[in-house]
């Protein structure tokens, strides 16, 4: 029987804090409070006033095991690799939980060298429980994991949709920074036309617009209306060569308007 709680350090990026909380709540419940799951984004793990970096460092130092939440976004962040490396250096069990579009076979090195599980696979979650039980020296609990996996899958659906929407909006912003600001000012409901959009710019953002439309977040149409004139800097004579331009008509949904209120698009 374990007489003292052990710390399980859960590594994640801030955008995935909700999933970290799902794991924390379920593991602490199923292991009958034999463990403290440290989640850096959770106020229960770091009380108000505690220095964040010191709390992370202290909990890494005392961790009996690490759980790393790995997604296509998080594996690109140096902090995730750093924390996973800390677990490896301590020679404590380090488990990579793959979710939201990445599988164990798709993990980059060095994460791919560590023990990896699929978050939405009930059998693999059960295997993760066995590893935690071994760390505790306790019996492996046998809860009904269906609701746990369902919570994970629900998070994945919401998270991947949000991620994909942001990717599309950033593609539009990259193609024409001025246009994303105009779109941000479009009112929800009635169609609004943005005039004189160069066709070359429209082509760069067309796939992003289609992706947003396929998700039911906006309706759009583009119509070429004319040929832009280029000015010869030498003699001031105008002529063709500026390319075609057109009008982009947009109907914005409230859901997309909420995304556009983010500071990066204002």
pLDDT in tens, 2-24: 447 899 999 999 889 999 999 99
Give mean pLDDT in consecutive 10-residue pieces for the chain, a chain of 266 residues: 75 92 94 86 49 71 91 90 86 94 92 91 92 90 91 96 94 86 81 88 93 94 81 44 83 91 85
**Residue 123 to residue 148: CA distance in whole angstroms:** 12
* Nearest residue to 92 (alpha-carbon basis) of 114, 112, 70, 75: 114
Position 129 scores a pLDDT of: 94
Q: Based on the number of CB atoms within 10 Å of its own CB, is 219 exposed (0-12), middle (13-18) or buried (19 or more)?
A: middle
* Nearest residue to 248 (alpha-carbon basis) of 175, 154, 139: 175
Whether the upstream peptide bond of residue 110 has omega within 30° of 0, thus cis, is yes
Give the strand order in the sheet containing 244-252.
Answer: 192-198, 244-252, 218-227
Interval 31-75: pLDDT, tens: 987 899 988 754 454 454 455 567 777 878 888 999 999 999 999
**Residue 53 to residue 6: CA distance in whole angstroms:** 20
**Residue 97 to residue 7: CA distance in whole angstroms:** 17
CA angle 99/101/105 to nearest 5° reads 80
What is the Cβ-side half-sphere exposure of residue 110, based on CA atoms within 13 angstroms?
12
**In what helix (H) or strand (E) does residue 214 lie, and over which residues does it extend?**
helix 199-214
Q: Which two tokens stand for residue 139?
A: 């019996």
């Amino acid at each position: 029987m374990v007489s003292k709680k052990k710390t399980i350090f859960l590594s994640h990026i801030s955008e995935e804090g909700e999933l970290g909380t799902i794991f924390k709540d379920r593991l602490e419940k199923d292991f009958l409070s034999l463990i403290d799951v440290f989640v850096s984004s959770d106020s229960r793990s770091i009380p108000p006033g505690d220095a964040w970096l010191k709390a992370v460092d202290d909990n890494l130092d005392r961790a009996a095991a690490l759980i790393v939440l790995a997604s296509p976004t998080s594996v690109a962040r140096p902090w995730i690799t750093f924390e996973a490396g800390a677990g490896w250096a301590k020679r404590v069990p380090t488990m990579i939980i793959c979710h939201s579009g990445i599988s164990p076979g798709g993990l980059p090195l060095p994460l791919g060298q560590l023990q990896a599980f699929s978050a939405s696979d009930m059998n693999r979650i059960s295997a993760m429980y066995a590893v935690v039980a071994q760390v505790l020296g306790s019996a492996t609990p046998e809860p009904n994991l269906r609701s746990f996996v369902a919570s994970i899958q629900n998070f994945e659906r919401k998270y991947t949709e949000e991620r994909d929407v942001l990717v599309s909006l950033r593609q539009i912003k990259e193609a024409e920074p001025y246009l994303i600001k105009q779109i941000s000012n479009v009112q929800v409901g009635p169609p609004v036309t943005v005039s004189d959009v160069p066709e070359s710019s429209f082509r760069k953002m067309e796939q992003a617009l289609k992706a947003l439309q396929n998700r039911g977040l906006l309706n759009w149409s583009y119509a070429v209306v004319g040929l832009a004139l280029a000015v010869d800097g030498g003699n001031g004579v105008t002529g063709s060569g500026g390319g075609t331009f057109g009008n982009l008509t947009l109907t914005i949904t409230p859901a997309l308007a909420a995304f556009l209120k983010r500071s990066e698009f204002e």
